Amino acid sequence: MASPASTHIRTLTAALAALDTDQLQRWGRELGHRLPVGARLLAAGNGGSAAEAQHLTSELLGRYAKERAPLSAIALHADTSALTAIGNDYGPEQVFARQVRAHGRPGDILLLLSASGRSPNILAAAEAGRTLGLDVWALTGPAPNPLAELSTSAVCVAAPSVAAVQEAHLVAIHIVCAEVEDVMAGSITLAGSVDELPAAEPVADQQLDTRRHLVVVGDVLLDQDTNGVVHRLSPEGPIPVVSGAVTLQRPGGAGLAAIMAAAAPGWRVSLLCALGSDDSGRRVRALLEAAGIDVLDVAASGSTAVKTRVRAAGRTLVRIDTDHEPITIGPLSEAARLRLSTAAAVLVCDYGRGITASPTIRQALQEAAARCPVVWDPHPRGDCPVAGVTLAVPSADEARALSTAVGDRDLAGDLQCALELLELWPVRHVAVTRGEQGAILISNSKGHPLVIPAPRIISGGDTCGAGDRLAVTAALALGAGRLPSEALAAAVAEATSYVEAGSPAALSARPQTTKPSRNGAIAAAEQVRAAGGRIIGAGGCFDLLHTGHVSLLEQARRLGDLLIVCMNSDASVARLKGPSRPVTGETERAALLQALGCVDGVLVFDEDTPERVLAQLRPHVWVKGGDYAGRRIPETDLVESWGGRVVVVPYLEGRSTTSLIARVAQTDGAR
C-alpha cells in the first residue's frame, strides 16, 4: 500500500502536469503590460487561498526574482479592520464585493482564488467585478464550478484534494510572477546595484491611460457620399439629374467600425488592417489617426478600394465601386501581436478582401479568443471564424449565403440558419441580425433562441453601417463584462438609434446607454407642428408606473396629436423625493413610458423643474395631474409665453407612488 506521502506527491505531480501554463503565462504578460501604466490587481481568497493571494500581491509589490518598479496589487482580505466592519454591517458574503466596488476601476484585474470555486463571498466579488468592468480571473479547483463560469478567464486545477489544488496554485502564482518580470525586463535594463537605480517618478506625474483597449481587425476601404438635390430628369431618359453635389469621405468597412468605437467613452482603439500605398489609402489613414485610432497596417502591396454613393433626398441613387489592385497581406508586426495579446475585446469585421485569410492573423486571433471576448462579423466571401470566438453576428442575408438553409425569410428561416452556423463554426454564440426586426441569439442547439425585437420600427432610414454599429456595441459590451444576451440587446437598440439618427451622419454621437434620444422627440414634435398638429407635454417622476400615471397620460394624449413626456432624471428625483428614490432607474422608467401606446416620446431632464426642456419642446398644452388643482403650476408663465395652455386633468384617487411604497413597506413589516 502506498504511503500517504507518496500518494500526495503523485496527486500533486499529476495536477502540475495538467496545469494550464499557457493561460498563466498570458496572465503574467497582461499584468506586465497593464500594471506599469496605471492598472491595479485586486486579489482575494479564503483560508489557504487567502495566504496564496497575499503571496502574489507581495511578490508584485516587492519582487519575485528580478529588480523592477513596484506594481499596484491589493490583497482584499489583508485589511482586518475593513473585513470585520463590512462583515458586521453587511454580512460575510459582502466582505470582498464591497471592497471591489470601492477599489475597482475599469481596466483593473480581479484575481480570485478558491479551491472549490463555490465560496459565496468569492462569487459575490466576481459578480461585483464583472458589473464594474474589471477583468475577473479565477484560480480554482476542478471544473466545472460557479467561479470559473462567472470569470472572464479561469485556470482550473484538476486535483482530488484541496491540498494539491492549493499547492498547484502556489506554482501557478510563481509562473505568473516570472512572466511579469520577463515582460518588464524587456523595457528596463539594470546596469548597477539596487542603490544606483534612479528614483521612480510619482504616479501622479505620469500620463496614465486606464481606458479599456479594443482591437478591430478587418478590411478597410474609402467610403464617399456625394449628396445633392434632384429637380428634374435627364432628357436622355428617366435618369435623375443631381445638382449642388457635395462629397464627404470617411473610412469604410472595418475603418467605419473603428471610428464608431473610438467615440465610446473609456475605450481606446487599435485597427489592424491593410491599407494601399495610394492617395485613397493615405486619406483613410489620416482620417483614422485624426480620430485617435492606432493604425496597424499589414499591407505589403496593392491599392485601396473606393466605394461611392450618389444620394439625394435621403436615398441612394447609384453606387460606384472603383477597381483596385488586390492587397497582399504582409507579416504581423510585434506591435500588432502585443495589441492583440492585451486587448479587453477584439472585433473582426470581415469584408471578404483577404485579411482574415492570413494564417498568422488567424493564429493571433485564435490566441486572443482564448483570453478575451471576440466578436466576428462575417462575410460570404470571407473565412470562417477562428476557434473560441465569443459571438458571430451575420446578417440574415449573410447567414443564408453562409449556410445551406432554404427556409423562408422569416423568424423560423433565420433560426434555421443560426442553428446550422452554430454547428458549423467553432464559436460559442451566433446572433443573426434581422434589420428592423431585431436579432436572434443561439447559444445551444437544444436550447430556446433568444429573440430581441428592435425597440421601434424605423422606416426609410439609411442603414449604411448599421451592422457595424451593432457589432461594435456588442464587442464593447462584452469587453466590459456583460453577458452575450445583454450585449446583443444593447447592440440592437444602438443600431436602431443609429439608423434613426441618420446612420453615417450620426458618427459623432456616442453609444446611448442612459437616456433616450432628446433630438428624436424634439424632431418628432417639430414635424407634427409643421403639419399643423398640436403638441402635448406632460411631466413627472413616473417612479413605479401605476394606473394613476397611465390614466393621466391617456387623458393627455386625447388633447392633441403628439404626447411627449418630460421625465425627471434619477438625480433630479433623489433631490425632490429623498435619497431612497427613485425605486426604478431612469432608463427603465423611460422604457416603460415609451411602451405605452399613448406616449410618443420621452425627454429626460436633470434639473428640479422642466423649464429647459419645455423651452425646447414648446408644447401647445402642458398637462399636470389633479393633485395641482387650486394651485398655480410653476411652469405656467413659461408655457403661456409662447401662447401655450396649462391644464389639469382628473387624478385617480389613492393612486400614488408614495402610497404604493408605503403599502409595500407595511406588508413587508407584517411578515
> In this predicted model, what pLDDT tens digit does every residue of 471-488 receive, in sequence order?
999 999 999 888 888 899
Check: CB of residue 328 under 8 Å from CB of residue 299. yes
The reply to whether 238 falls in a domain is no
467 and 580 housed in the same domain: no
pLDDT at 461: 62
Q: Which three cell numbers stand for residue 533?
A: 398638429
Residues 496, 540, single domain; the answer is no
Between these two residues, 54 and 651, which has the higher pLDDT value?
Answer: 54
pLDDT attached to residue 504: 64
- Torsions phi, psi for 472 (to 5 deg): -60, -50
Same domain, 564 and 459: no
Query: What CA–CA distance (Å, rounded) separates 346 from 215?
Result: 5
Per mean pLDDT, which range of 265-279, 442-456, 591-605 is the poorest? Answer: 442-456
What is the dihedral angle through the alpha carbons of 38, 39, 44, 50, rounded to the nearest 10 degrees? -50
Give a yes or no: residue 574 inside a domain. Answer: yes
Q: Are residues 492 and 533 in the same domain?
A: no
Whether residue 37 is found in the same domain as residue 167: yes
Strand partners, 345: 214
**C-alpha angle with apex 424: 422 to 425, nearest 5 degrees?**
70
Q: Do 446 and 582 have their domain in common?
A: no
Q: Which residues, 6+ apart, have CB-to-CB distance to 329 below 8 Å?
A: 274, 298, 299, 300, 354, 355, 357, 358, 361
HEC profile of 463-515:
CCCHHHHHHHHHHHHHHCCCCHHHHHHHHHHHHHHHHHCCHHHHCCCCCCCCC
Cell of 645: 395652455
Q: What pLDDT, on a 0 to 100 scale, did the predictor assign at position 508?
A: 39
Asked whether residue 303 is domain-assigned, the answer is no
| Domain final position from 483, 506, 529 | 506
Active-site residue, selected from the candidate residues 383, 414, 468, 543: 468
Catalytic residue status for 468:
yes
Q: CA nearest 633: which of 556, 563, 525, 538?
A: 538
Look at residues 158, 185, 212 and tell me which one is the last residue of a structural domain.
Answer: 185
| Whole-number Å distance between alpha carbons of 612 and 163 | 65
Claim to verify: residue 471 and residue 527 sit in the same structural domain: no
Q: Give pLDDT tens digits for 630-658.
A: 567 888 889 999 999 988 877 655 445 45
d(CA 583, CA 593) in angstroms, rounded, equals 15
Hey, which residues does 565 pair with through a beta bridge? Answer: 538, 602
Q: How confident is the model at residue 76 (pLDDT cuts 50, 70, 90)?
A: very high
Distance CA 607, CA 622 (A): 18
**Tens-place pLDDT, residues 201-211:** 333 333 445 57
The candidate with the shortest Cα–Cα distance to 491, out of 572, 390, 575, is: 390
Same domain, 590 and 473: no
Angle between helices 279-290 and 254-262 (to 10 degrees): 20
Beta strands in 94-160 (DSSP E): 109-114, 135-140, 153-156
Cα gap 208→250, rounded to integer Å: 30
Whether 666 has a pLDDT exceeding 50, the answer reads yes
Distance from C-alpha of 90 to C-alpha of 125, rounded to nearest angstrom:
14
Report the alpha-carbon distance of residue 43 to residue 176 in Å, rounded: 14
From the number of C-beta atoms within 10 Å of its C-beta (0-12, 13-18, 19+), residue 127 rates as middle
Q: Is residue 322 part of a domain?
A: no
For the segment 516-541, what is each residue's pLDDT rounded down to a tens digit? Answer: 344 568 878 887 887 788 999 999 88
Residues 6+ away with beta carbon under 8 Å from 594: 455, 516, 601, 602
DSSP character at residue 596: S
In this structure, the answer to whether residues 133 and 262 fall within a common structural domain is: no
Strands 73-75 and 212-218: unpaired
Q: CB–CB of 85/53 below 8 Å?
A: no
| 351-365: average pLDDT | 92
Shared domain check, 420 and 555: no
pLDDT tens digit sequence for 236-254? 888 888 887 778 788 999 9
The per-residue pLDDT for range 85-104, each reduced to its tens digit, is: 999 988 889 999 999 988 98
- How high is the pLDDT of residue 188? 33
606-621 confidence digits (pLDDT tens):
888 899 899 889 999 9
Residue 435 lies in a domain: yes
CATH number of the domain enclosing 419 = 3.40.1190.20
Mean pLDDT of 546-557: 87
Q: How much is the pLDDT for 184?
A: 79
Q: Is residue 589 part of a domain?
A: yes
Domain extent at residue 552? 518-667
The residue to which cell 464608431 is assigned: 260
Whether residues 11 and 63 share a domain: the answer is yes
Integer-rounded Cα radius of gyration of the chain: 29
Distance CA 215, CA 336 (A): 9
- Quick one: CA dihedral 140, 146, 147, 149, positive or negative? positive
In a shared domain, residues 539 and 489: no
Q: Is the dihedral of CA 430, 435, 437, 438 positive or negative?
A: positive
- What was the pLDDT predicted at 190? 29
The number of domains in the chain is 3
487, 477 contact by CB (below 8 A): yes
CATH of residue 136's domain is 3.40.50.10490
Beta bridge partners of 622: 537, 646
pLDDT at 546: 84
Q: Mean pLDDT score of the chain, rounded to an integer?
A: 84
Domain harbouring 638, CATH code? 3.40.50.620
**Burial degree of 334 (CB within 10 A; 0-12, 13-18, 19+):** exposed
Band of pLDDT at residue 503, cut at 50, 70 and 90:
low
Residue 293: inside a domain = no
460 part of a folded domain: yes
From 478, 506, 534, give the residue that closes a domain: 506
Residue 460 has pLDDT above 60, yes or no: no
506 pLDDT above the threshold of 70? no
Compute the distance between CA of residue 337 and CA of residue 416 in angstroms, rounded to an integer: 37
Per this entry, what is the length of the chain?
671
Three-class secondary structure of residue 573 per DSSP: helix
